[in-house]
Amino acid sequence: MADFKLSVLDQAPISEGSTPAQALRNSIDLAQLAEKLGYHRYWVAEHHGTPALACASPEALIGPIASTTSRIRVGSGGVMLPHYSPLKVAETFSMLAAIAPGRIDLGVGRAAGTDPTTTFALQRDRRQAGPDDFPAQLYELMAYLEDTMPADHPFARLTALPGRPEVPELWLLGSSPQSGIWAAELGLPYAFADFINPAGAEIASRYRAEFEPSLTLKSPRTTVAVWALCAETDEEARRIAASSKMMFTLFLRGQLIPIPPIDKALRFLENQPTAAPDPFRPQRRTIVGSPATVRRGIEDAVAEYGAEEAMVVTITYDHADRRRSYELIKEAFGMG
């Protein structure tokens, strides 16, 4: 049995020949499986304007997932706060927390989760680019959730959120040093996206060293989110992973596609030149293989980050392969 928790980060992948609607139904199905297997929490991501990923509104998916499960924590991984009013986010997640008491997480991030054009389309006021005021947004959101708005503040009465006394657990997400600094200063739990930036161990270490206790958290808490895919053998796992590898290769070239079938992806990858490593871009960590291989990879990541939890994100063409991957990881760690 592992001495850390295992959780799921779901990006709601859309398979070629399928539909976004089916991808969302697959997410609900996978959440039910994750609860049955004993995973600790299930987070859904926010992405916009891509044919590969279906979830543009985590809060719209959290409700159905929470209503069809009973124990697993459910949350956002995360809400991209620059797109939204902090009050609206606080009210929405307050309502979710009231519907599923003690089970709702609000993970927030600074990234756009999309391209500049879509970011601009998401703005309500399009006369100019939106301000970069994430710290102010985050402080305001915390004041609503913690009911700490100064009495003379014009928004003071708005802390009477609709779901009180229930509130979500607030997390800060990140993949850069600045997010770790903010999480430490504000006393927030910190989820680091290793699958975006595998060079985050020092960032997590600094977060723990500089952590300031807060009203809601007395000591630092770190989750590392890793990309992993598990099958019965290393060879079979690498074969299944070809679909996401093709999708990501084209993504880096500015081409957005749904998740391709395995055979199509294998043919594509066979014809790709071997690129020289970029010394300024760390190679993304992918943990792909048999249960023993994946267990070692996840344990290594957890040890690097000093984390109390590993959150696993997996993309496959076939939903059955994604289900099976999480089942095998559960078996590898002796969960359930």
User: Of the given ranges (77-81, 109-113, 140-144, 249-253), which has the lowest mean pLDDT?
Assistant: 109-113
* Residue the block writes with tokens 């996206």: 193
> Taking all residues of the chain, what is their mean pLDDT, rounded to a whole number?
94
Q: Yes or no: say if 17 and 263 are a contact pair by the CB < 8 Å rule.
A: no
Q: Residue 66 and residue 72: Cα distance in Å, rounded? A: 8
- Domain spanning 5-273+287-333 has what CATH number? 3.20.20.30
Judged against a pLDDT cut of 80, whether residue 112 lies above it is answered with no
Q: Yes or no: say if 184 and 206 are a contact pair by the CB < 8 Å rule.
A: yes
How is the chain split into domains, by residue range? 5-273+287-333
Judged against a pLDDT cut of 50, whether residue 336 lies above it is answered with no
pLDDT in tens, 168-188: 999 999 999 999 999 999 999
Amino acid making up residue 127: R
Judged against a pLDDT cut of 60, whether residue 34 lies above it is answered with yes
pLDDT at 279: 46
Judged against a pLDDT cut of 60, whether residue 294 lies above it is answered with yes
| Stretch 308-314: mean pLDDT | 98
Judged against a pLDDT cut of 70, whether residue 312 lies above it is answered with yes
| Stretch 67-95: mean pLDDT | 96
pLDDT in tens, 239-288: 999 999 999 999 989 999 999 999 999 999 998 887 655 444 557 899 99
pLDDT at 282: 56
pLDDT at 121: 84
Q: Residue 128 and residue 122: Cα distance in Å, rounded? A: 12
The sign of the torsion formed by the CA atoms of 106, 107, 112, 114 equals negative
Judged against a pLDDT cut of 50, whether residue 52 lies above it is answered with yes
* Residue the block writes with tokens 């000591």: 219
pLDDT at 335: 57
pLDDT at 222: 98
Lookup: tokens for 177:
């040093």
pLDDT at 332: 97
Global confidence as pTM: 0.94
pLDDT at 189: 98
pLDDT at 109: 95
Judged against a pLDDT cut of 50, whether residue 123 lies above it is answered with yes
